[in-house]
Structure 1
């Protein structure tokens, strides 16, 4: 069986044994919109749960529009012109508009990357700025939640008279689904907020997982923090495997988001009758597979369908390496994942981005990991608590030899964009 995995910007063709592959898990096709920009315009004019944006914008002198950073393939070049046209026609002066890149704790998006993100016209003619999560002075304190999370949100957003967020709704390894409230927390939240919200008290909860909203403390808490910050209007989209827009939701932060989730969950769930010995997956290609940090999402996405003691084989380009310096330091500072978990559960130890290593620890408690990439040398990969493999074919063959003649394989060509399940 020949399968193409999403890998970098080109994809990766792999050959797998037909007699062992029992599941090819993909998103269910949703018809792409014939005119996405017209659909965005219509959604803005007839939103869910709130007034049209043109009415909300009337009389406002300042506006902040929050967009995802480069790690998310949001069609900003289609969304932003409609938003900007609407609020400017309603009277918001261009000089009062800030487009804020929700970097969370990621690096800033500047220069050519900013142009790629928002389009040349917007980059040249509007104030486009990056969020800096590690600069506390650029945030406003909104109070501490009952669960003990201090809410610090970017002051540029808090002080804007009109608050708008955009985004993409897809499965998310901690918050259930991305989009909606996530543009505010963690998108424009300070490290002081994220370090608690992404701490083990939240992430070790069994519902802090992809596909779960009800009872998920990660989702509940960042929804609460987003409501403290305020949000007048959202525009979120869903995409198909070719990154074409399949639906647009706009309006109230919670109602529109839930409408988008209701749409996407019908298309991303992919069932298998039972768990398998080997899962072949990826991290959804560019821009999500550029770092090992982001590639962990491909691993957690495979957890529901791999047997205890099984193997996940993942391919990711890693064109930007491991991740932040802080994330890289975790591998030097901790001789094993067991030591790392003991330290973070003790509450005295904290390093930014530790939450992604905690997610990797969840994976490794259940399965082995064989990692295929041409972005980092094998010795580097082997130092990341996973095993390097030269090719997907080689990794699968060795795993099948280990598990015996009855071993079965499942494949997730789109990685974390798919929500695999076991059962009907």
Structure 2
């Protein structure tokens, strides 16, 4: 029998999981991140980091009168305290003599949706959005990018001009587990955040050769990660960069702010992120349940949370996503028209996708398409397991299927379907592992 109530964060509240009682799932089957020790005073924490930067002079010593400074912040799908950080950083820049007209602010959107004026104000705050030249780099407009050359790996280094042509770049972001780069943050705000699509596509092919084990990239060290190595080499084509990065939990929960040399900041925060967020070893489970908290409801990021826990499942098992979905975020990374097209294909479309994804991935890799990495992750997720998602708003928008993924609006139907999908000898007593805050936790491949 179950040993206690199991709940997952759900928007501003909680979702009680109505799991089959016969499964005997209890709190011991739940994996939570270490959320202890959040700072109680972020401005003080940021000032302390800026006063003692890692392996770098202080920001005020890097710039001066006449310096052109490009600030790059991460996109609105992250919950980095950008609005809180900017006034502190800008005050230091201007205190060192940097003129308002010499500062630009770019949002590193990469392939995500462009940031419009309203979203820019929400991300930066009204003051910075109105005072400074602010940009959402147009990923397909080659004329907006400076071509800085080609790396030894054949990656074209095409960087958004306000960023490439500045004297100093200030990167404001956070470090979270990342499928391909090990951990996000750092130079990734520029590569690919402020890079042309050709650069973005070349970077996203790193480490995804047909015979490679992409699952081993998650949570790995930068020194052994092909994408991080490629990003680091591309960054060498730029001038000075200064990183201000964070280790974050839920929105408003900041464990640490760190500033200085991008590589040093990234390594320090990635090490702590691993200690806090990596799940302890355990036998693979028949049913893996993953919440998308604290991601703000973007379906693409929610599916990435499932991939972060792929290694927790037995081959042929069932992965269940609990996707709290903000209507305002529902098509940030995946256009609603594309979701409806896939959803409209129904079960036959799901059957075809399972079989055609590997073939399509091989074709796109051969053509060096920027879409190849998306298909690689799709294959990693759906080809050898059953995926089901509880997401009432998404179900309302597109119905009960997204290709091979079934979407549910009520838990009773969900858990009945999960039970039916299990092998007969596992239906009444499956091994279950639950990750309520799957936007933070991750399970690396052994």
TM-score, structure 1 as length reference: 0.91
C-alpha distance in structure 1 between counterparts of 2:358 and 2:294, whole Å: 29
Contact 1:171 / 1:417 at 8 angstroms: preserved in 2? yes
Q: Which residue of 2 aligns with 1:308?
A: 315
Secondary structure of the corresponding residue to residue 375 of structure 1: helix
Describe the shift of the 1:375–1:209 C-alpha distance in structure 2 as closer, same or farther (beyond 3 A): farther
After superposition, the CA RMSD in angstroms is 2.6
Partner Cα distance (1:260, 1:47) in 2: 13
- CA displacement at 1:10 relative to structure 2: 4.4
Query: Cα offset for 1:24?
Result: 0.9
Q: Which has the higher contact order (CA 8 A, sep 6+)?
A: 1
Superposition deviation, residue 62 in structure 1: 1.3
**Change in CA separation of 1:283 and 1:230 when aligned onto 2, cut-off 3 Å:** farther
Which residue among 391, 395, 414 is the counterpart of 2:414? 395
> What do residues 323-360 of structure 1 show as CA deviations (whole Å, max 9, x unaligned)?
44499289479942432321231345576555333212
What secondary structure, in the 3-state scheme, does the structure 1 residue paired with 2:53 have?
A: coil
Q: Any gaps of 5 or more consecutive residues in structure 1?
A: none
* Aligned counterpart for 1:258 among listed residues 252, 263, 267: 267
The Cα shift of 1:312 comes to 0.6
More displaced stretch, 330-339 vs 414-423: 330-339
2:282 to 273, 283, 291: 273
Matches within 5 A, 1:266-415: 266-287=275-296, 289-290=297-298, 292-318=299-325, 319=327, 320-321=329-330, 323-325=333-335, 328=338, 331=342, 335-346=352-363, 347=365, 353-377=371-395, 380-400=399-419, 402=422, 403-415=426-438
Give me the whole-angstrom Cα distance separating, in 2, the residues matched to 1:400 and 1:272. 25
Question: Do 1:274 and 1:422's aligned partners in 2 also have CA atoms closer than 8 Å?
Answer: no
Q: 1:422 to 1:196 in 2, by over 3 A?
A: closer
Structure 1 residue 372 displacement after superposition: 1.5
Give the corresponding residue for 1:25. Answer: 31
Alpha-carbon offset, residue 52 of structure 1: 0.4
2:228 counterpart of 1:211: no
Deviation, structure 1 residue 147: 2.3
Q: Shift in Å at residue 243 of structure 1?
A: 3.8
Q: 1:324, 1:388 → 2: CA distance?
A: 16
Q: Quickly say closer, same or farther: Cα 1:47–1:73, change in 2 above 3 A.
A: same
- Summarize deviations over 1:217-238 as a string: whole Å, max 9, x none: 1222122212323442000001
Contiguous gaps of at least 5 residues in structure 2: none
- Contact 2:68/2:102 (<8 A) preserved: yes
2:295–2:439 contact (8 Å) kept in structure 1: no
1:127 to partner: Cα distance? 2.1
Structure 1 position 100, deviation (Å):
0.6
SS at match of 1:311: strand
Sort the Cα spacing of 1:285 and 1:272 in 2 relative to 1 into closer, same or farther, 3 A: same
Kindly tell me: are residues 74 and 353 of structure 1, through their superposed partners in 2, closer, same or farther at Cα, counting changes over 3 Å? farther
The 1:392–1:48 alpha-carbon spacing in structure 2 relative to 1, beyond 3 Å, is: farther
* Pair 1:240–1:111, CA change in 2 (3 A): same
SS in 2 for 1:15: coil
CA contact (8 A) 2:168 2:239 kept: no
Question: Structure 1 residues 350 and 116 mapped into 2: Cα distance closer, same or farther (>3 Å)?
Answer: same
CA distance in 1, matches of 2:245, 2:400: 35
SS, match of residue 223 in structure 1 = helix
Asked if the contact 2:285/2:433 (under 8 Å) is kept, the reply is yes
Given that residues 293 and 327 in structure 1 are in contact (C-alpha distance below 8 angstroms), is that contact kept between their aligned partners in structure 2? no
Does the 8 A contact of 1:174 with 1:203 survive in 2?
no
Say whether the 8 Å CA contact 1:327–1:354 is kept in structure 2.
no
Q: CA deviation at 1:209?
A: 2.8
Q: 1:285 to 1:9 in 2, by over 3 A?
A: farther
Q: 2:7 aligns with which of 4, 7, 17?
A: 4
How much does 1:11 deviate?
A: 4.5
Q: Secondary structure at the match of 2:236?
A: helix
Flag the 1:234–1:392 CA change in 2: closer, same or farther, 3 A: farther
Q: Would the aligned equivalents of 1:307 and 1:366 in 2 still touch at CA under 8 Å?
A: no
Partner of 2:67: 61
1:4–1:203 Cα change, 3 Å: farther
* Offset, 1:294: 2.0
Cα deviation code 1:103-133 (max 9, x no counterpart)? 1111122233222211222222222211111
How far does residue 404 in structure 1 lie from its aligned partner after superposition?
2.3
